[in-house]
């Protein structure tokens, strides 16, 4: 993004992905949408909590991404949970395919956002966490919260 100042507006965030997975790498992908879906996204009606991504026949698809139907869309509305194609460069898809062939890797959508007038999806190459890793994450979060609380108390007096 050399010199381009585009407004980025977050539409949906997948906090659960950071809890359930170690995010190794991130990619920015476009998404193939229809008109009413874009209007619905601009209104912020999107959920990626239960969604996942697969590479099939050299193309990348997102499953389980819920985009609520646009109220004024009538017959042009599409199925809210339909499979949508993600737009990545061929070399990125090839690299991801190679990484996914390794044991334990998966693709998860991290966030959906507007970049200028375009809808983008941040895709994370992720490795699943074990139960003890999740406990460690919770412990770190609690420690940070305690430290912030102590810092706040010290600064009040």
Question: Is the predicted pLDDT of residue 3 greater than 50, yes or no?
Answer: no
In the block, tokens 């956002």 appear at 113
How high is the pLDDT of residue 75? 66
Q: Cβ atoms within 10 A of the Cβ of 33, count?
A: 16
Q: What is the mean pLDDT of the chain?
A: 80
pLDDT band at 1 (very low <50, low <70, confident <90, very high): very low
Q: Measured between alpha carbons, how far is residue 25 from residues 103, 106, 124 in Å?
A: 16, 11, 6
Q: Measured between alpha carbons, how far is residue 2 from residues 5, 6, 75, 99 in Å?
A: 9, 11, 41, 28
Q: Is 138 helix (H, G, I), strand (E, B) or coil?
A: helix
Tell me the C-alpha distance between 1 and 6, whole Å. 9
Tell me the C-alpha distance between 69 and 35, whole Å. 11
The answer to whether the CB of 17 falls within 8 A of the CB of 64 is no
**Single pTM value for the model:** 0.69
- pLDDT tens digits, residue range 17-74? 877 788 888 888 888 887 777 888 888 888 888 888 888 888 888 888 888 877 776 6
In the block, tokens 């698809």 appear at 61
Give the percent of the chain with pLDDT over 90: 0
Quote the Cα angle for 80-124-54, to 5°.
55
């Amino acid at each position: 993004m050399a010199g381009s100042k585009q407004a980025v507006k977050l539409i949906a965030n997948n906090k659960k992905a950071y809890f359930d997975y170690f995010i190794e790498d991130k990619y920015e992908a476009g998404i193939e949408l229809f008109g009413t879906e874009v209007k619905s996204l601009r209104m912020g009606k999107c959920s990626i909590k239960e969604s996942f991504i697969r590479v099939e026949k050299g193309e990348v698809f997102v499953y389980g991404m819920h985009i609520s139907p646009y109220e004024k869309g009538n017959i042009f509305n599409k199925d809210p949970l339909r499979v949508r194609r993600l737009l990545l460069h061929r070399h990125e898809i090839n690299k991801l395919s190679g990484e996914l062939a390794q044991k334990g890797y998966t693709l998860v959508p991290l966030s959906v956002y507007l970049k200028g007038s375009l809808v983008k999806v941040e895709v994370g190459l992720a490795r699943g966490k074990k139960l003890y890793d999740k406990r460690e994450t919770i412990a770190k979060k609690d420690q940070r919260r305690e430290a912030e609380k102590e810092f706040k108390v010290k600064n009040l007096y």
